[in-house]
Amino acid sequence: AKPRVAVIFGGRSTEHGISCVTGGSVLNVIDRDKYDVVPIGIAQDGRWVLEAGDLDRLKIADRVLPSVDATLPAVSLEQRADGTELVFTEATEATDVLGHVDVVFPLLHGPWGEDGTLQGLLEMAGVRYVGAGVLASAVSMDKGFMKVVLQAAGVPTMPSIVVTAREWARDAAACRARSEELGYPLFVKPARGGSSIGISKVHDASELDAAIEEAIAHDPRVLVEGFAAGVREIECGVLQMPDGEVRTSLPAEIRIGGDHEFYDFEAKYLPGEHTEIDCPAKVDDDLLARMQELALVTFDAVACEGLARVDFFVFPDGSLVVNELNTMPGFTPSSMYPQMWGASGVDYTELVDLLIQQALSRSTDLR
Ligand code: ATP
Ligand code: MG
Ligand code: MG
Ligand code: MG
């Protein structure tokens, strides 16, 4: 029988719409002669539904992002008598069993999907899945803890502090003082976010409180970070092959222009803006080699699996800092990660297949 792949997209995070676009793209190219495909949407309220029929609607239309339709038939995860099989069941008709699932492709960004929570559910159910495991997902999702781990592994990162909603409520003045030690301008980010949502560049003291409060609205854990001045922004893809070997892609550079001060949500997803991508990036052999090596060190530092996109800042003197790694990077055909692999000789369809094959080759024991 063909392996059955559950492609899961949507989710409870603010990146719901982006994830739907990714889900639509992957469902378009996945080889149905090779795999039995089950499309599962997670609605914004957390409900799991069986997506079927017209997947064409999972696209950006008139600058509006799609979403999962919560009124579709609900599905649930069930552990059966043998304790290892995952079954999707229509909640409304207990008899309507969708069957076991061999592998899950969790195309989810942000909390409740990219952060180890779904991964934990799948580990408990003994189901293989694409991408990072529980720990790697959780550590990489939280920019505060990610930095602790990367610094311990000797990976250079920007200086930063964590401010929690509790600390802010108790003593905002102390939080301000700790932040200002980093010096303006500052970047303020929700610790567990993505797509630049909730991120502000803070030019001076007059903007700090609003930025922290904006980030707290997304996550009670907030990262306040020093500004990387005059840097090039270059990303590198990491891919684990079905035989376990880990490879790095050619990097790509993001050049921000127009009225965007940084690589914000609009610059990332909405067309007609002034962001330019150089894929592959124009880098000399020395920078290329250092970047690919540091991408691997970063991948291993968090014990990542499957895939990651490592985002760098390159200073004018050529030194590198890792801004972050994303364990489920944007994954539409035009997203950076697939583009970088395209430039490195792995096209989108093959990339999807390699990731599924890698997941299928995994042990469901401790690995
Ligand atoms: P992603 O969609 O890549 O997951 P994210 O929401 O996790 O994004 P970051 O990558 O940390 O957010 O930051 C978003 C953008 O903000 C960066 O791509 C960069 O343009 C800018 N930026 C972030 N931190 C800094 C910094 N310390 N100095 C200068 N620019 C920064
Ligand atoms: Mg990120
Ligand atoms: Mg992200
Ligand atoms: Mg980023």
User: 223, 311, 322: which to mutate for ligand 1, most atoms within 8 A of CB?
Assistant: 311
- C-alpha distances in Å from residue 101, one per residue of 32, 86, 95, 321: 15, 6, 17, 40
Q: pLDDT confidence of 84, banded at 50, 70, 90?
A: low
Nearest CA, atom 24, ligand 1: 187
Mean pLDDT (whole number) for 84-94:
57
Quote the ligand 1 centre to 126 CA distance (angstroms).
35
On whether the CB atoms of residues 44 and 12 are closer than 8 A, the answer is: yes
Counting residues of the chain whose pLDDT is more than 70, the rounded percentage is 94
Q: Residue 29: its pLDDT value, please?
A: 95
Q: Answer yes or no: is the C-beta of 194 below 6 A from any ligand 1 atom.
A: yes
DSSP characters over 189-202: EESS--TTTT-EEE
Atom of ligand 1 nearest to the CA of 326: 4
- Tell me the average pLDDT across 148-166: 98
What is the C-alpha separation between 329 and 230, in angstroms, rounded? 25
Residue type for 236, please?
C
Residue 187 CB–ligand 1 contact under 6 Å: yes
- Give pLDDT, residue 63: 82
Q: CA-to-CA distance for 337 and 249, rounded, in angstroms?
A: 9
- Å from CA of 74 to ligand 4 middle: 33
- Tell me the C-alpha to C-alpha distance, in Å, between residue 323 and each of 236, 258, 259, 320: 12, 23, 22, 9
Mean pLDDT for the stretch of residues 287-295: 98
* Pocket perturbation via mutation, ligand 1, pick of 187, 264, 315 by most ligand atoms within 8 A of CB: 187
| Residue 215, ligand 1, Cβ within 6 A | no
**Structure confidence at residue 257 (pLDDT):** 78
Tell me: pLDDT of 92 over 80: no
Q: Is the pLDDT of residue 9 over 90?
A: yes
Q: How confident is the model at residue 22 (pLDDT cuts 50, 70, 90)?
A: very high
Residue owning the nearest CA to atom 9 of ligand 1 = 196
Q: Is 193 in the pocket of ligand 1 (CB under 6 A)?
A: yes
What local confidence, expressed as pLDDT, does residue 265 receive? 85
What average pLDDT score do residues 326-345 get? Answer: 96
Residues 6+ apart with CB under 8 A from 268: 195, 196, 275, 330
Mean pLDDT (whole number) for 293-304 = 98
Q: Which atom of ligand 1 is nearest to the CA of 227?
A: 28
Checking if the pLDDT of 95 tops 50, the result is no
Please report how many Cα atoms fall inside a 13 Å half-sphere around the Cα of residue 228, on the Cβ side.
23
Whether ligand 1 lies within 6 angstroms of the CB of 324 is answered as yes
Does ligand 1 have an atom closer than 6 angstroms to the CB of 164?
no
pLDDT (average), residues 326-342: 96
pLDDT range class, residue 10, cuts 50, 70, 90: very high
If you ran DSSP here, which 8-state letter would residue 83 be given? S
**Average of per-residue pLDDT across 24-53:** 93
> Would you state the structure tokens that stand for residue 131, as one six-digit string?
């991408």
Mean pLDDT, to the nearest integer, of 93-108? Answer: 76
- Cα 92 to ligand 3 centroid, rounded to whole Å: 35
Q: What is the mean pLDDT of the chain?
A: 92
Give the number of the atom of ligand 1 that is nearest the alpha carbon of residue 190: 6
Q: For the segment 220-277, what is each residue's pLDDT rounded down to a tens digit?
A: 999 999 999 999 999 999 999 999 999 999 999 999 877 788 888 888 877 566 788 9
Find the helix or strand (DSSP H, E) in which 103 lies.
strand 103-106
In DSSP notation, 214-275 reads HHHHH-SEEEEEE--TT-EEEEEEEEE-TTS-EEEPPPEEEE--TT-SSS-HHHHH-SSSS-
- Percent over 90 (pLDDT), the chain: 78
Q: Considering only CA atoms, which residue is closest to atom 4 of ligand 1? A: 194
Phi-psi region of 272 (alpha: psi -120 to 50; beta: other; left: phi over 0): left
pLDDT of residue 349 exceeding 60: yes
Of all atoms in ligand 1, which is nearest to the CA of residue 231? 29
Residues 330, 337 contacting (CB under 8 angstroms): yes
pLDDT at 291: 98
- What is the mean pLDDT of the segment spanning 272-292? 92
- pLDDT at residue 126 in the model: 87
- 335 contact partners, CB below 8 Å, separation of at least 6: 22, 329
What does the pLDDT average to over 318-329? 98
| Per-residue confidence (pLDDT) for residue 273, from 0 to 100 | 63
Mean pLDDT value of segment 136-143: 98
Q: What is the pLDDT of residue 75?
A: 86
Question: How confident is the model over 172-189, as a mean pLDDT?
Answer: 98
d(CA 174, CA 304): 35
| pLDDT of 338 strictly over 90 | yes
Its sign, for the CA torsion 168, 174, 177, 181, is: negative
Sorted by where each starts, the structural domains of the chain and their CATH numbers stand as 4-129 (3.40.50.20), 139-156+230-360 (3.30.470.20), 160-226 (3.30.1490.20)
With cut-offs at 50, 70 and 90, classify the pLDDT of residue 94. very low
